[in-house]
Amino acid sequence: MGGTILTTPFGFNVDITFWVQLFKQPTSEVIRSVYAIGGWTILALIFFWMGSILWVHYRQGKYTKNWQWVLLAVDVPPLYIQSPKAVEQIFAHLSGAKVGPNIGEKFWKGKKQKWFSLEIVGIDGYIQFLIRTENEFRDLVEAAIYAQYAEAEITEVDDYTGILPHHFPDDNYDIFGVEFALEENEAFPIRTYPSFEYNMSKDVVFSDPMAALLENFSRLGVGEQLWLHIVIEPTSHHWKEKGIDLVKDLVAGGGSHGGHHGGNWLVDFFSSIPMKIAQELMNVWNWNFEAAEGGHEEEATAGKVSELTPGNKTVIEAIENKIAKLGFKSKVRVLYISKKELYNPGKCIDGLVGAFSQFHVQNSNSLVAHHATLKHYAFKNYRLGLVKHHFVEMFRKRKIKIAGNPYILNIEELATIWHFPLPFVKTPLLQKAETKRGEPPMNLPLETTSGHLRMRRAPTPEPSVEIPSSLPMGDEPAIPPEDLPYG
């Protein structure tokens, strides 16, 4: 039986009979044969990849089982004048929690990066600023706050999320949640606090963006709660490479916006491939390589910064300012919860979504409502219950990677969204440190009052009393009054 021999110019022959016979078969047979030859390797790689993910998830579950989370309530003096720059420095301090586990620590120990949750809680109109952290970084958080707010009061409190029902629909409570995402590529910045300064005559007036946010918290009545969570996780500097590439594209004349939840850039990329291939084939067929050679001249002409429009120059400057500062993986979420007879999320959720619009910048970026607990057309009651349960788990565990990937906000953007308001922001029920704290006299009796968030206390062991073994049955030992446990 004769075969097909291909003679090469290098002095040896190649038998390609197998491949000739293979591609003479129908397309379905060719696919089946190729799969039988090497297609199983693709499945093996897929199963190996899935197995590695499950293994890492299992090891991380064992690693995080012993984590101890603490919730810290932060109060600052009411007349303490400090710009959001101070909170920006707090976030820069928190970047010290960055841990880079190597391959062995990740796949064997399950080591992973710990995160923080910056929170504003409104309970019956009472407003409290909180920070949730793992116990290992409690000292780091307190040191960062005291370095900028020396007279602040930091108190550990119980986790207020215990009120959340575990299943929906619930007989007593109902919720409405919204998760925010960046509308454009994360390299584009949002509007930050330096842009909220206005020149009024000779004075510079700062329009605190927290005023618009806290106003919605102050509208709550008894039986209503509103929670704002900003979950942040320290990360490496690799995210800045996107900004550098984007600046290069803008200088070269390209650089379109790519939304956080949009995939148009991917569609455009694949749809342009056939046109590029056809163009290259025509150039080869006509022995025409002038287009390729002339492209360098065109690229060099488009790469002149002096020819950029004023708008592009402003955008490039904003991107460079963002990547010049530290960044965190971030997620912004809002949850409204109340008893069913009082359920009215529109009174504060709509205003809060509108308040986030103040961070919008034309031709740059903005925070928009990306995911919410809304009804769906198919199986709306069942799916709505699942979505609400999903939101409850996000808020209870403060997970950052649930409901989409996180996005990068730098420390200036974070300080714009979450900072202690200036004294002129009128929020009567915002908890503040009343007076400067000092060392009390020895043996001074103290009295505390309970608020909406209970101070967390360690359990006190009851005093034990030793009973002599020689005591007759039925007799009770005499216990001094000062040794009696409190009832």
Listed by start position, the domains of the chain span 1-66, 68-241+315-417, 254-302
Give 111 or 296, the one with higher predicted confidence: 111
Please report where in the chains the tokens 């078969």 appear, as a residue. Answer: 25
Give 440 or 361, the one with higher predicted confidence: 361
**Three-state DSSP state, 371:** strand
Give 150 or 30, the one with higher predicted confidence: 150
Question: CB neighbours of 184 closer than 8 A, spacing ≥ 6?
Answer: 257, 258, 259, 260, 364, 365, 366
What gap in Å lies between CA 302 and CA 297, rounded to an integer? 9
| pLDDT tops 50 at residue 486 | no
Please report where in the chains the tokens 């592009």 appear, as a residue. Answer: 312
Q: Full-prediction pTM beyond 0.75?
A: no
357: confidence class by pLDDT, cuts 50, 70, 90:
very high
Give 91 or 253, the one with higher predicted confidence: 91
Question: CB neighbours of 92 closer than 8 A, spacing ≥ 6?
Answer: 326, 411
Say if residues 177 and 373 touch (Cβ distance below 8 Å).
Answer: yes
| pLDDT tops 60 at residue 298 | no
| pLDDT tops 60 at residue 482 | no
Q: Kindly give the interhelix angle for 17-24 and 27-34, rounded to the nearest 10 degrees.
A: 130
Average confidence (pLDDT) over 140-158: 93
- Report how far apart the first and last C-alpha atoms of the chain are (Å, whole number): 102
387: confidence class by pLDDT, cuts 50, 70, 90:
confident
Which amino acid is it at 45? L
pLDDT, residue 471, reads 45
| pLDDT tops 70 at residue 111 | yes
pLDDT, residue 81, reads 75
162: confidence class by pLDDT, cuts 50, 70, 90:
confident
Structure-block tokens of residue 29: 């047979």
Residue from 230, 206, 239, 178 nearest 413 by CA: 230
Per-residue pLDDT reduced to its tens digit, 33-87: 777 777 677 778 888 888 888 877 777 777 778 889 999 999 988 777 788 999 9
Task: Convert 301-340 to b/e letters by CB count within 10 Å (16 or more is b).
Answer: eeeeeeebeeebeebbebbeebbebbbbbbbbbbbbbbee
Average confidence (pLDDT) over 436-456: 58
Per-residue pLDDT reduced to its tens digit, 128-140: 999 999 999 999 9
Question: CB neighbours of 453 closer than 8 A, spacing ≥ 6?
Answer: 73, 121, 123, 128, 157, 158, 160
Average confidence (pLDDT) over 431-455: 58
